Structure 1
Amino acid sequence: MGTSAAANGQDQQIEVRAVTEDELPVWDRAIARGFLRPHVGDGTEYRKLIFEPGRMLAAFDHTDGGRAVATFRSFDQELTVPGGATLPVDAITAVTVNSTHRRRGLLSRMMRHDLVAARERGSAAAILIAAEYNIYGRFGFGPATRANGWRIDVQRSGGLRPDLPVPDGGRIDFVTLEEIRKIGPDLHERWRLTQPGAIGPRADYWWKLNTGEVTLPGYDWKEPFVAVHRDAGGTATGLVGYTVDDDWDGSYPNCTLTVTEFLALDRPTANALLRLVFSVDWVRRITIANRGVDDPLPLLLNDPRGAVPHEENADFMWLRLLDVPAAFGARRYAAPGRVVLEVTDPEGYAAGRWALEADADGTGRCTPTGEEPDLALGAPQFASLYLGTETASRLAAAALLREIRPGAAAAADLMLRMPIQPWNPDGF
């Protein structure tokens, strides 16, 4: 990965390039500064675990002794798309620019450098989690999944309904964090292939960081309780992790249980794990910060009004299409149909007129065409439609998509929306 230089004056003194492993302490300090966190300790041990040559970028200001003033990292992931296939994607994270170097094009240089390389590697899309809404649309990213959490007042909710099905012969046991590092990866791999929008595989360093085997200075971590559900044959079918604060109202318990991890391969297993969560002594409130948009949790309660939406509910994972035919050819479709879309994309990856077609067997394709368009939209909106999180009809109502042929937005929605809404629980 070569050096990139801006074309004007002072910025020619800022070099954007991949960092070497020896430069990880510098990169670690720069990312802490960029995320407005004090550098309370050296995080190089963890940075070495995630290091891949060419995938960590930094901007070095040679007018300031070569100080790193911006950071960027990407790594390869698979995205589960509607229908259960997986798509190779470029996962972008650790994006920072120091406040002293804003508005100098450093993010643009790093982003464009990475997207070119990602497309050359065969990534069909790029994904990221946007700290601020208005940054990434200009690079063609659009919201692709939503976080949908709940805060539950246990007493008001009346707990779980007693008629919910649970597995016959199943059992739940608490496990150590060492055990979960062995059980968790296979369970997550089986789960993510059932959930559109999920990403994986979770790397070994993910499990080490999230189970406390390694720590990253400046990030709070509290050891959770972790329980695994096994079916009658002894196979793990789900797990739940949670923490409980120690809060008392005088001599009365007033604790909040916070779910940190929840995986279930089927609805009965999920119900059994939730029964455990609702049975914990001293707990008055339960917080589950990120569930799927169509997760039925409130309806499982005796009084659904006992669950209120989490205040952080918002867009979560964003997506940018890099290879339109590969992306749309990988997913399945809910109904047959055909619409022609005219996509504006200044970066060029998704620009042009595309015929989106779906057959009765659920297969489909998106191919270049010279036909007159039915819909006109930008690359961010095109990306938001891909997994089915957003609808063309809603985008049209918001003046973010133009319907040229009446009924075309509804036709696109019929094709793209699937019974299971996309969801990704993993930050990265």
Structure 2
Amino acid sequence: MSADVRPIAPSELPAWLQTLNTGFLTPVRMTQSDVAQRFEHTDFARTQGAFDPATGRCVAAFRSFAQELTVPGGAAVVSSAVTNVAVLATHRRQGLLTRMMAAEIAAAQERGDVLSTLIAAEYPIYGRYGYGPAASVAEWEIDVPRTGLDRRAPAAGDGARIDYVDVAEVREVGPELHERLRRTTHGAVTRDARWWSVATGLEQMSYRPYKEAFHALYRSAAGEVEGLVTFRSDDRWTDSKVPLNTVQVEDLLAVTPGAQRALWRFLCSIDWVLKVRTGYRAPDDLVAQLLPDPRSARLLTSADFLWVRVLDVVRALRARTYAVPGVLVLEVVDAAGPAAGRYRLDAGSGDCERTDGSADLRLEVSALGSLYLGEESAVRLAALGRVTEERPGALALADAVFHTARRPWCPDVF
């Protein structure tokens, strides 16, 4: 008999959480407090489980939640964020994820969501469900002594200042600062109140102890908060009492170039610190070029991060802006259904509508997800066999139309 795939009942949450932890190789015992906290923030209509008919046990987990994604031009698009996906090793290759994903896509379409998003733990899984890698990340390790920075010089000049702050002030000013950044950063997603509670230790799980961090705010000469950095440091010394500490940046938000420059200089000026790990940044982040010697920043990670699945092509393409005018007819192939069809995009007016006209480009919906935020090139996708040019010149026009001056960036794991 096939497993029963359905939204879980509130009483099944502890078993669902245990399945999730097992699937993610974190075999921990949930306390009543852990379950109570998750209960408060769980939308049971959007939390699926698969149950083995022989044992009644939960053997797979799946959850989604409401999210907004910033697209090129600054508009916020309603998205369904998929997370907490796990199938136990004993029940893989039985189509459980396919069934849960099909239920989620149908429900998202019914809700009127424009997109679906996720952070892929493994690359090969989600393309077959119509998701495409849409924003990448990079991480650098800065060798502080090699930067060429004068560590005695103030990090913030021209009347600006940087101050250490406590978590209460972070919770007070952080959400508004993040919203300012999100409105100008395509690829960024919303953070709810719980995000800030978890990030600052107000809400903690027994199996994931909160480690205190340092927080610093950058204020302009006018006193306006323009930057925030959260970081932790190890405590390493040689036998000869020489410090070898590394700072790990957990979050760095900067809404002006001055704030970004000052916060990186500040991190590189902290006594006893030899290395700074930047955390996940946009792949075209300026951090290395802000240093006198950019080679002092060694690239550690360059990888896909945010994946996008387009559900409503018309609303998605109408929401964003385009670099140049032009008209393209896109034939979108979508085996699951919601995005399939031909669409006429007028990049000059920003309008999009279904059409019976001849296609200029033919592409899988996953390729449209990769194009949508400006992360990928239509010419590259064609070389990979993911886009077919039906009219000569259409690939070049698509690249010009979907191009963005900066690459998309999603600062958040979800």
Structure 1 residues 395-410: aligned runs within 5 Å: 395-410=381-396
Which of 244, 249, 273 aligns to 2:238? It is 249
SS of alignment partner, residue 54 of structure 2: helix
Where in structure 2 are the equivalents of 1:314-325 lying within 5 Å?
314-325=303-314
Q: Confirm whether residue 205 of structure 1 aligns to residue 194 of structure 2.
A: yes
1:385 to 371, 394, 403: 371
1:158 lines up with 2:148 in the alignment: yes
- Partners of 1:146 and 1:317 within 8 A in 2: yes
What residue identity is the alignment partner of 2:371? L
Q: In the alignment, which residue of structure 1 is the partner of 2:35?
A: 44
Mapped to 1, the partners of 2:156 and 2:334 lie a distance apart of: 49
- Give the CA RMSD over aligned residues: 1.9
What is the DSSP-based 3-state SS (H/G/I as helix, E as strand, rest coil) of the residue aligned with 2:392?
coil
The aligned residue for residue 103 of structure 2 is 113
Query: Is the CA contact 1:80–1:199 (under 8 Å) kept in the aligned structure 2?
Result: yes
Q: TM-score, normalised by structure 1?
A: 0.92
Cα deviation per residue 1:267-306 (whole Å; 9 max; x = unaligned)? 1011111121111111111101211122111111111111
Partner residue of 1:354 out of 343, 348, 355? 343
Verify: 1:301 aligned to 2:271, yes or no: no
Shift of 1:342: 1.7
> Is 2:329 the partner of 1:343?
no
Tell me: CA distance 1:183–1:21, structure 2 relative to 1, closer, same or farther (3 Å).
farther
From 178, 190, 214, the counterpart of 1:225 = 214
Give the Cα separation in 2 of the matches to 1:93 and 1:283.
36
**Alpha-carbon distance between aligned partners in 2 of 1:348 and 1:165, rounded to the nearest angstrom:** 54
Note the C-alpha offset of 1:62. Answer: 2.6
Gaps of 5+ in 1: 1-9
SS in 1 for 2:176: helix
Map 1:188-199 to 2 at 5 A.
188-199=178-189
Change (3 A) 1:178 1:40: farther
Q: CA–CA distance in 2 between the matches of 1:160 and 1:56? A: 52
Q: Structure 1 residues 155-164 or 258-267, which shifts more?
A: 155-164
Q: Secondary structure at the match of 2:307?
A: strand
User: What CA distance in whole angstroms lies between the structure 2 residues aligned with 1:270 and 1:263?
Assistant: 8
Task: Give % identity.
Answer: 45
- In the TM superposition, residue 235 of structure 1 has moved relative to its aligned partner by 2.8
Corresponding residue SS for 1:336: coil
Q: Is the CA contact (8 Å cut-off) linking 1:80 and 1:196 kept in structure 2?
A: yes
- Aligned residue in 1 for 2:268: 278
- Does the CA-based 8 Å contact 2:178-2:253 persist in structure 1? yes
| SS of residue matched to 2:45 | coil
Distance across 2 between alignment mates of 1:341 and 1:323: 14
CA–CA distance in structure 1, aligned partners of residues 58 and 108 of structure 2: 23
Instruction: Give 4+ residue runs of structure 1 displaced > 4 Å after superposition.
Output: 160-167
* Deviation at residue 349 of structure 1 after TM alignment: 1.5
- On the 8 A contact 2:136/2:306 being kept in 1, the answer is yes
Name 1:420's counterpart in structure 2: 406
**Contact (CA 8 Å) 1:338, 1:412: kept in 2 or not?**
no
Closer, same or farther in 2 for the Cα pair 1:121/1:253, shift >3 Å? same
CA drift of 1:170 comes to 2.0
Equivalent residue of 2:351, what SS?
strand
Query: How many residues were matched structurally?
Result: 411
Q: Report the alpha carbon displacement of residue 17 of structure 1 after superposing the two structures with TM.
A: 1.6
The 3 A distance-change label for structure 1 pair 167 and 266 is farther
* One-letter amino acid matched to 2:158: D
Name which of structure 1's ranges 190-199 and 226-235 shifts more when overlaid on structure 2: 226-235
Say whether the 8 Å CA contact 1:160–1:300 is kept in structure 2: no
Name the structure 1 match of 2:51: 60
Q: Check 1:161–1:394 CA distance in 2 against 1; reply closer, same or farther (3 A cut).
A: farther
TM-fit CA distance, 1:158? 2.0
Amino acid aligned to 1:159: L
Tell me, what secondary structure is at the counterpart of 1:143? strand
Q: Secondary structure at the match of 1:261?
A: strand
Alpha-carbon distance in 2 for matches of 1:387, 1:314: 16
Question: Aligned pair in 2 of structure 1 residues 166, 336: CA closer, same or farther (>3 Å)?
Answer: farther
**TM-score, length-normalised on structure 2?**
0.95
Structure 2 unmatched runs, 5+: none
Q: Is the CA contact 2:375–2:407 (under 8 Å) kept in the aligned structure 1?
A: yes
Amino acid at match of 2:354: P
Structure 2 residue aligned with 1:75, among 61, 65, 87?
65
Contact 2:165 2:215 survives alignment (8 Å): yes
CA distance in 2, matches of 1:124, 1:164: 46
Alignment partner, residue 6 of structure 1:
none
Which stretch shifts more, 72-81 or 268-277? 268-277
